[in-house]
Chains A and B, each alone.
Chain A
């Protein structure tokens, strides 16, 4: 199969709707299995940390949420670039769908971080370089969502968000690096990430499970969002009417 025909296939919402429909049960099953299994494994079977006791177990939600939240922004920017360059409508739908999911994951990362910080550092919030960077990532997501909602014209909204996502993606390394630099200027408090030391394999394995589970979960939810968007945009076409009303006809 040539590259261009693959490309045209991915550009067809109908093909994508049917293709993603086949993937959904697999993604749902695998992600739930890995997430639920990994969390039970991490909560019940992994020994407690010698320093942090049981509180470290929130890592099994915190780290996957943070990692996927960052990956999601880059995916969104790449989808935006694809939309701007090749006018692929599917990319615009993916971009629109990622923003709320990514914002929720970033919020989850911040929230679990605060919950973890309270017993470990004795405070809910520290202006640490990493926390600050994730907070800024959250702001970037909120900006994209706000911009998208402000437009009445759907195509203009997609293009404007694509430009903003790309500008944000160019800025993310600069922001991260300057926040690191800003933080290293301050004398770091007596707080340090114990997690930065090597993590024991018995703790790592369930983390790998929840991490891959979170990626699959993200993909699953993303597909669901995109499918709804496809149905909404193509609701006047024959195939959607056949798809939705097919059984009742």
Chain B
């Protein structure tokens, strides 16, 4: 297949998934609502003192964004599996790798991207100092993409199971840890006025590795799930 054909395939899958998600509004809005609600629980749980909230804000925002992205991941292949679109994808002459890549990117466009854009607002609610806002947004932009790709492996493995949701969290959360460490650390450094580019660079490395390698695992996992 020529390069332009591949590009066409990626764009076609991307468009289809983004359109489908936009038309079913809840798919992209639910993770956002979850993000806002859980962030609002923290001041209620630990107290409203601004300095204490400011200190905890980088960690809270990152953990909650991670959970919101995780919850959204379960639906990544679910609809296509239920109506057998996934089977057609596997049977078609088109290579699976670019289709999986496009599907995961589309999923990120509808979950990780809005989360990252919304994050400064929640940063304000949690008293995150203004110095940390840019680091928060950029680290979430890079980090949630990695989370989407890792989560897609788990979603592909569990899509054929009836009770996927909780299981997906169990198998995926340990793999999320490096992203969380570097993401929240970037925001913390920025708040303390330190250098945060190294952490972002590490997230960039994870981004590229996940982009290149995880579709291989996702393709293998989808074949197993559809075959059974």
Instruction: Return chain B residues, CB-CB under 8 Å to A143.
Output: 170-172, 174
Contact check, A163 vs B181: say whether CB atoms are below 8 A apart. no
Contact check, B174 vs A147: say whether CB atoms are below 8 A apart. no
Contact check, A159 vs B171: say whether CB atoms are below 8 A apart. no
**A129-155 contacts to B (CB < 8 Å):** 136, 139-140, 142-144, 146-147, 150-151, 153, 155
Please tell me which one of the listed residues B172, B178, B182, B224 contacts residue A163 in the complex, with CB atoms under 8 A apart: B224
With A139-B173, A156-B227 as contacts: A178 and B153 at CB distance below 8 Å: no
What band does the interface of chain A fall in when counting residues whose beta carbon is under 8 Å from B? 20 to 34
Instruction: Return chain A residues, CB-CB under 8 Å to B220.
Output: 84, 163
Give the shortest distance, in Å, between B159 (CB) and chain A (any CB): 10
**What's the Cα separation between A164 and B174 when bound, in Å?**
12
Contact check, B153 vs A156: say whether CB atoms are below 8 A apart. no
Instruction: Return chain B residues, CB-CB under 8 Å to A33.
Output: none
Contact check, A178 vs B161: say whether CB atoms are below 8 A apart. no
Contact check, B228 vs A156: say whether CB atoms are below 8 A apart. yes
Contact check, A178 vs B178: say whether CB atoms are below 8 A apart. yes
Main secondary structure of the interface of B (DSSP, over half): helix
Contact check, B153 vs A163: say whether CB atoms are below 8 A apart. yes
B162-180 interface bits toward A, Cβ cutoff 8 Å, 1 = contact, 0 = none: 0100010011111101100
Instruction: Return chain B residues, CB-CB under 8 Å to A146.
Output: 167, 170-171
Instruction: Return chain B residues, CB-CB under 8 Å to A147.
Output: 157-158, 167, 170-171
Indicate whether A181 reaches chain B with its CB closer than 8 angstroms.
Answer: yes
Give the residue name and chain of the B residue nearest to A181 (CB).
B181
Give the residue name and chain of the A residue nearest to B226 (CB).
A156
**What's the Cα separation between A167 and B171 when bound, in Å?**
11
Indicate whether A160 reaches chain B with its CB closer than 8 angstroms.
Answer: yes
A153-187 interface bits toward B, Cβ cutoff 8 Å, 1 = contact, 0 = none: 10110011001101110110011001101100100
With A160-B157, A168-B175 as contacts: A182 and B170 at CB distance below 8 Å: no
Contact check, B227 vs A136: say whether CB atoms are below 8 A apart. no
Give the residue name and chain of the B residue nearest to A147 (CB).
B171
Give the shortest distance, in Å, between A181 (CB) and chain B (any CB): 7
Give the shortest distance, in Å, between B133 (CB) and chain A (any CB): 21
Contact check, A178 vs B182: say whether CB atoms are below 8 A apart. yes
Give the shortest distance, in Å, between A108 (CB) and chain B (any CB): 19
Give the residue name and chain of the B residue nearest to A185 (CB).
B185
Contact check, A171 vs B158: say whether CB atoms are below 8 A apart. no
**Closest A-B pairs by Cβ, 9 of them:** A156-B228, A143-B171, A178-B178, A139-B174, A159-B224, A182-B181, A153-B228, A178-B181, A160-B157
